[in-house]
Structures are given as structure tokens and as C-alpha cells.
Amino acid sequence: MAWPRRSGPRVLVSTTRSKYGAVPTRLDGLRFASKREADRYAELRVMEIAGHITNLQLQPAYDLHALGGVKVARYVADFAYRDERTQRLVIEDAKGMKTPVFRLKAKWLQAEHGIEVRCV
């Protein structure tokens, strides 16, 4: 971490890269956690404009519960949309690497909500 040299309040600027090498990217005024995620968003927008998908959502969240209904965790996907060919809800995550936490939450989401996560 390095302090920038300027007058006024100091702002901490990170000079290290993220754990998995993701580069935050801006597209259409939105901030994405990685270039892969931003590229997938661009593809999905084209598909939405063409009418292949509808109801594109960014960062949809799903609560995950233990037995007895106690909320234990939350899964936040990258994208959710409706595929017009199959008329099904599709949940996507733009992943370069499937972490153990991701694998656990994806299986939990499938078991609790019946929703399968597609990795792109």
C-alpha cells in the first residue's frame, strides 16, 4: 500500500493485485469485479437487445437457510435472466476459478431453491 503524494486528506491506494488476479472494470457506468464479468455483461446486453433473453438482473441475491429456517448465508450471483427459448430462469457467475466457498453456496442454492448456477 502506498500513500499518494498530494496535499489534503490522504487516500490509501492499493498497489497489490487481487487474490485471483481480477481487474475491476467499468462498462456502461457500472463497476464490475473483473474484466471477465464486464465482458459477459456486454454479451448479455446484446442478447437482451436481440430478444433472446429478458429481465437481465445484476447481482441478484438469494438467502440460504439452515434446517428450521434460520438464515445462515447469502449467495450473490453475477447475473440472472430469463432465457426466451426455454422460458427458464438462468443464474450465472463469471468465474475464472471455482473457490470452495462458491462450490458450497452453489450446491446449497440448488438444494434449497432448485436453482442451478451456470459458470461462464
Question: Is residue 14 assigned to a domain?
Answer: no
Residue 59 lies in domain: 25-119
pLDDT value at residue 13: 44
pLDDT value at residue 96: 84
Question: Is residue 12 assigned to a domain?
Answer: no
What number is the average pLDDT over the span 44-73?
A: 95
Question: Is residue 69 assigned to a domain?
Answer: yes
Strand spans (E) along the chain: 25-27, 30-32, 53-58, 61-65, 71-76, 79-83, 88-93, 117-119
Q: 3-state DSSP call for residue 6? A: coil
Question: Is residue 46 assigned to a domain?
Answer: yes
Domain count, the chain: 1
What number is the average pLDDT over the span 26-49?
A: 94
What pLDDT digit, counting tens, does each position of 68-111 carry? 899 999 999 999 999 999 999 999 999 888 999 999 999 999 99
The set of cell numbers assigned to 25 is 472494470
Question: Is residue 30 assigned to a domain?
Answer: yes
- What lies within 8 Å, CB to CB, of 77 at 6+ separation is 59, 60, 61, 62, 91, 92, 93, 117
The set of cell numbers assigned to 27 is 462498462
Q: Alpha helix (H) ranges present in 1-120?
A: 35-50, 100-113
Question: Is residue 57 assigned to a domain?
Answer: yes
Question: Is residue 65 assigned to a domain?
Answer: yes
